[in-house]
A and B are shown apart, each in its own frame.
Chain A
Amino acid sequence: MISKKICLVGDFGVGKTSLIRRFVDAQFSDQYLSTVGVKISRKVVEITPNNQPEKLKLQMLIWDLEGSNKFKAIAPAYLQGARGTIVVADVTRIDTIDRVSGHIYNFLEINPQGFLVVALNKSDLVDEEKLSKLLEMVQSQAQDRVIGIYPTSAKTGIHVDLIFETLACAIIEKE
């Protein structure tokens, strides 16, 4: 079975751990527990890449990285060997969206051939109009390695599986 390493990066408190928990365990908790260091989760997904005739089983090794803040950046060592990353931002905190481009840059500096998906998390907390505007804002920051920008909600589960599977497909198709 093929295994691929992907990372979740973003500012503290944007919901990286919650997205992984929703994806891997189909669970959600409102309680905030900050992540320190890194936690690696595994999930086997069945995907059908566009350039493959049949379904493929892929083991995703998902690195849940400690959130960055203005005093502490993400350690580059964690990003080594990742084929893709999900940059997570919190739609209720505009500063986390402003820093999306910084996270994209940091990842591509270490993995220039990697793929990225941007997850605008906690989308259940804002109205449609605000969400559209934020999507536009992130779109303008994105590069060609960014294969998708999605509003997500670990609470409702919306687009959570999609972001992981989209990233997995892109990684497999390009290899």
Chain B
Amino acid sequence: MNSLLKKIFAPRRMEYLTIDRNFKITDTSDGLKRFADKPEEAVVGKEITLGFPEFFGIEDILVAIQQGRQADFHLKGIARYSETESPLYIDINIIAYPDGENLENRLFIFFEDVTEKLLLEQALVQKSNEANLLLSSLSAAKDYIDKIINSMVEVLLVTTLSGKIKKINQAAENLFGYSEAELLGQPITKIVTEWASEALRARQRYRQSPANHQPSLGCELFKDVEVNCQTKAGKKITIAFSCSTISTDIEDLQNFVYVGRDTTERRRTQEELIKTLEQEKELRKLKSRFISIASHEFRTPLAMILLSSDILKQYGHKLSEDKKSKQLDKIKVTVSNMTRLLDDILTINQTEAMQVSFNPVPIELKKFCQELAEEIELATNKTHDFVFQCQESEVSAEMDEKLLRQIVTNLLSNAVKYSSPGSTVYFDLLVKKGWAIFKIRDQGIGIPQPDQGRLFETFHRASNVGNVSGTGLGLAITKGAVELHSGTIAVESEEGQGTTFTVCVPIVQPKELTT
């Protein structure tokens, strides 16, 4: 039988051996040794595991087959090769057959050379595994990059050179309120409403001569340039964008990558800060000017009082009673002017510090204005003609009487002060759409154009006032009182022709303004 087997297996590149119950080799085919791990051990009488290590550990299986409890056992694709040898792959099949001599089964083990098949399989597996590893690696890299992009706090947009949106990240979706699908393919102008000129120039330059840049490296076109954007809901926001180019899979074709931060809040805070700083600066300037002017305004009358008191002290015994009285009157008038100046300064100070109390009460305006006009006319010794006009039978209003008196008195006094005796002062009271309009017009010296814009500044006096006395505080106080009434004051004037002041005040004061 063995010689027959040898003849059968030889052309099929198969070899065999047999072993006894002690796993010792009892017979081998001629070419068996080339399949052994240690050929010198693959001889009759040697334990099979010495030449064939793959049988180590499966002794139980061999016994089971020998005893007929298991039909067979296969081991496929056992490799035999070293660095220097070409590979050899074998399949092993174990079966039992009856031994006529010992009345027990012998184990019959076939070895088949499957190298060609396995080499082919190896080539296929290699390609398949390499492809799978590459896919896995690409997929992991893409997943990781996507996670990075989507966890960015900054907005990310990728557009074509012409500005069509190709990709946005989660932060952009959240900020602009659009989903990615809504923005893909849309022009970037859908969200960017106004480009800063710096950004426009940089992009324009790039589009005109991309060859000047190194596309493979990508280049930064601009950095942290604030542009105005609009969300889906129409909210205006400011984004500080940086823009670079990236190369696409087509040579010489670039895309723009925009990365931006929402700076709306920062910009607003910055603007507020600048405004506050400017106000603070203006206030400091004003205070400094105020102190300088106030000290000057006090020095002149004080010098006058000092002079009069010196005259009285040194020459009092030589002066007549009449002259003494004149000096004393001078002191009295000067002190009175100083007191008025001090009162005005105090009022201005209170107005600026928002400390003036505002108490609107019901008031009949027509009667109030008429009486006030008469008071002023009398106080100024009727040097001017006063014409008061009001078409209404009565005007019921709600205003602060004290402040209103200040407004009207200041404007009427100025009209008298800066116009020639004998001229007319017109005082009109009108009512229009809930507003009381006070118009005070004189035929006086007028206000030069350059002074009109600064008329309500403290201590500012028009350049043409000449010797007419004044503190330069009256109109500032008037404006403050008008504003406390939520009103407005305007002036129209022509030098040498006269001046008209128009004060508009709501007839009824809004509740929240009252204190």
Residues in chain A within 8 A of chain B (CB atoms): 3-5, 12-13, 32-40, 42, 61, 66-67, 69, 75, 77-78, 80-83, 92-95
Contact = CB atoms under 8 A, between A and B. Distances in A.
A159 B133 CA distance: 24
B492 interface: no
Given A36-B121, A39-B79, A82 B129 contact: no
A94 to B, nearest CB: 8
Contact of A40 (B76, B78, B133): B78
Contacts of A92: 137, 140
Interface in B110-166: 118, 121-122, 125-126, 129-130, 132-133, 136-137, 140
B352 interface: no
Nearest to B122: A36
B74 interface: yes
A81 B60 contact: yes
Interface in B50-80: 53-54, 56-61, 73-79
Contacts of A4: 57
A80 to B, nearest CB: 5
A42 B60 CA distance: 22
B126 A34 contact: yes
A13 B56 contact: no
B57 A81 contact: yes
A38 B129 contact: no
Given A37-B76, A69-B132, 18 more contacts: A4-B57, A13-B132, A34-B122, A34-B125, A34-B126, A34-B130, A36-B89, A36-B122, A36-B125, A37-B89, A39-B79, A42-B53, A69-B129, A75-B76, A78-B75, A80-B57, A81-B56, A82-B57
Contacts of B54: 38, 40
A37 B60 CA distance: 23
Contacts of A69: 129, 132
A13 B73 contact: no
A13 B125 CA distance: 11
A93 B58 contact: no
Interface residues on B, range: 20 to 34
Contacts of A40: 37, 53-54, 78-79
Contact of A77 (B75, B122, B136): B75
Contacts of B126: 32-34
Contacts of B53: 40, 42, 61
Give the interface centre of A40, A42, A78, A92 by most chain B CB atoms within 10 Å.
A40
Interface in B24-64: 37, 49, 53-54, 56-61
Contacts of B129: 12-13, 32, 34, 67, 69
Nearest to B120: A36
A35 B137 CA distance: 20
A61 B79 contact: no
Interface string B14-26: 0000000000000
Nearest to B79: A39
Interface string B243-276: 0000000000000000000000000000000000
A66 B215 CA distance: 45
A41 B149 CA distance: 47
Nearest to B54: A40
Contacts of A32: 126, 129-130, 133
B140 A93 contact: yes
Interface string B308-324: 00000000000000000
A22 to B, nearest CB: 15
Give the interface centre of A36, A42, A83, A95 by most chain B CB atoms within 10 Å.
A36
Nearest to B119: A36
Nearest to B83: A25
B79 A80 contact: no
Nearest to A79: B57
B109 to A, nearest CB: 14
Given A32-B133, A37-B79, A37-B118, A77 B57 contact: no
B210 to A, nearest CB: 38
A37 B57 contact: no
Contacts of B81: 39
